Structure 1
């Protein structure tokens, strides 16, 4: 077994449609240690985050952050996903209210299981 720090989601735009931004690979358990969303636009925007188990879909049952407002120039660090563990095939899924307004990044630990 090995434990490695990793950028789970390198800084990237949050899409305006529901999309998986990170999926834990086979044989790896991922722990989320940080997750931040920055509004690079000029108007308020909101983000919805889901932690989706393998084989499931993003929806109300998997939402961990719902329509969190982020003001222009503001960075919001989510407390809702920190410490959560993703099993192989589980995903971090995101949705922005305005395409191109928000960026997201997340870091954590990857534990390789045998």
Structure 2
């Protein structure tokens, strides 16, 4: 019998934590991210650094429910939270004096989800 549902334990725990944080803090942003991560992985966002540079202002927090890729140039300091980062994307964010973090770290640092921009 074919198994249905997510099999990655980190992802299962993350979705459960996001739903719990949404309920506890009355922050609908975490419920929306949990819904996006609960879909097929082929629907996950793949955002390039160039898109982050285009849509974010300096000092802003960007949330990518998927993977951040290294194509493009980043010339401002932003905090980026994502499920995964490519090595080149992580390097470019750090070079621009930004910060790379996991979604779990963002939820614990900002439980209300205020001032977070979602990119897909």
**Normalising by the residue count of structure 1, what TM-score does the alignment of the two structures yield?**
0.26
By percentage of residues, which structure has more strand? Answer: 1
Which one has more relative contact order, counting CA pairs under 8 Å at least 6 apart?
1
The structure having more radius of gyration, on CA atoms, is 2
**Normalising by the residue count of structure 2, what TM-score does the alignment of the two structures yield?**
0.25
